[in-house]
Structure 1
């Protein structure tokens, strides 16, 4: 799963280029087939921190952070009602897709996903949104932010594109959400959780290696926010050859972790000085670990992730889960007030 969880790469000092960008993202997942976990889940995230959760087993939307309890019973009743209704929409959509892809008789697992949300820079005021769907691990249809035209990634999605662009009422609701609704809510949620979301926590950095000839892993964990840059240096210069970047994953305590592997030959390691440098946005300090001869580990690094969307992805063995960078194609939006009752937008029948 790669989501909308971003590893910042490139040259330069993260401390000097860091801008305060806040995000609101929703991840819907519907699964059909022989499964032993909920067939429908909704996960809401603010600044990559899970703030709400709903699944088809519990039939109840719940806050996942203390500061979201500021929303009263009416809000959570509305979220629960939305979750129940959208579960049915997703069940119908999966059946329609199975028919379109000639999978009606299939007994395997099929996955339909919807990702949408927005970002807002509280320094520049620039904001943007994304809205995209995937089926069985591949892009299905997505919204072009500038034209508000749906882009079909599969031939089977052309029917959906034609249908959605004909529904003028739904298009007007979508336009209102894109231009007004989402940004208003991300501001509201960030204000709720600002004491937590605006904090900084330094990382714990370790260098791990199974044998002298195996790759060296630089593992940073326990940091917040998730905006981080991890680089290897060779004799004081940034080193990008034979370097494998890992994903940023959430820990169960609300912090994050990531790993970067360096493939280095023993003779290169002996004749040169290697360092792992970790920079976390908002912290004016570099966290550096020198690669020494006694760098070893006792086993593989295992990431602990929050309950919800990421756990579900790990459980669906053998299914390629669709992932798409949410930031691409962002369009600037207006941030005027909105009449939306909550930060979620309507689910559509395909």
Structure 2
């Protein structure tokens, strides 16, 4: 898989980032089995930001960003019809694929996903296009634009190759779409959304740890765009061992977050210089957080501190209650004495009954 595809899918760990790369991607996913998910969903993404959505429940394509609303009703009607057609095709291909794998009677969840799109470098003008199908998260079959044929990644995908290659007109259309229409749409969409898509927002970087023996997590959040590199360095060298990277996730405000975990003992990081380095596309500055004890945010001892605080409060309340009790007791005693004294005087001054 080349650099362009890695950029689109977000699976590439590149050491340099360029704001010049832009991508337009469409994904269609058919699902079978016992799941609450719609049977079919389709997404449109520009630079990994979702701008269109369709599912088999609503059966209508809807905008997910303000800038894409500049497209008129003809666009949304066309997108809806394309998604409906893709739903029927992928549903059929998924069932046939399950048959080939002898999983037609399986109650488990299975997916067939179509991914197609293009990448454009706005500095060099270089473009790259792709279209592929994946079954249960693995490569299944891909489209060769030069030879206008489908290439199976697994022998079970030969039946799809035969079905697709028999329709030569469709294969020619896919090449035209990917190399021309996709690039044109990408440029138009970038122009629509440039105020938000071309912006850059620096990350907030934190070091998190649950307990002294837990991995140290470098958490970068609030950054934009999504193209980011987050690495751990030891004494200036990138650390690969004992490092676990999570996927980049989108926040509700449209920015992104990413986590990378480092398993290291306190003795090790105290005797060496460990630091988390974050690089965001379009921002020249690197964001660095050095691993030191005062930089770690943690919940260590919170329960103990809470218990101590609660104990102190309970003790104080007990003391206050005791003082209040003594005061009340004294007042009652005084009241009793006054009452007794009054009763005695009343008894002494009373006239005997004849």
Change in 2 beyond 3 A, CA 1:62/1:35? same
Q: 1:204 is matched with which residue?
A: 204
CA deviations on 1:84-124 (whole Å, 9 max, x unpaired) are 22222222222222222222322332211111101000100
CA distance in 1, matches of 2:185, 2:147: 23
> What TM-score do you get using the length of structure 2 for normalisation?
0.77
Q: 1:149 is matched with which residue?
A: 149
Query: Is the deviation greater in 176-185 or in 229-238?
Result: 229-238
Change in 2 beyond 3 A, CA 1:179/1:296? closer
- What value does the CA root-mean-square deviation take over the aligned residues? 2.1
More helix by share: 2
CA distance in 1, matches of 2:284, 2:160: 49
CA distance in 2, matches of 1:288, 1:8: 21
Change in 2 beyond 3 A, CA 1:3/1:56? farther
Q: 1:84 is matched with which residue?
A: 84
Q: 2:328 is matched with which residue?
A: none
> What TM-score do you get using the length of structure 1 for normalisation?
0.78
Q: 2:283 is matched with which residue?
A: 283
Larger Rg: 2
- Secondary structure of the corresponding residue to residue 8 of structure 2: coil
CA distance in 1, matches of 2:193, 2:135: 33
Q: 1:194 is matched with which residue?
A: 194
What is the 5 A alignment of 1:4-153?
A: 4-6=8-10, 9=13, 11=15, 14=16, 18-153=18-153
Residues 1:297 and 2:298 are matched in the alignment: yes
Contact conserved, 1:231 with 1:278, CA < 8 A, in 2?
A: yes
Unaligned runs of 5+ in 1: 300-350
Query: Is the deviation greater in 146-155 or in 33-42?
Result: 146-155
CA distance in 1, matches of 2:274, 2:32: 48
What is the 5 A alignment of 1:161-176?
A: 161-176=161-176
How many residues of Structure 1 are paired with residues of Structure 2 in the alignment?
Answer: 294
Greater relative contact order, per chain length (Cα 8 Å cut-off, separation 6+): 1
CA deviations on 1:270-296 (whole Å, 9 max, x unpaired) are 212222121212112222212122414
- Secondary structure of the corresponding residue to residue 196 of structure 1: helix
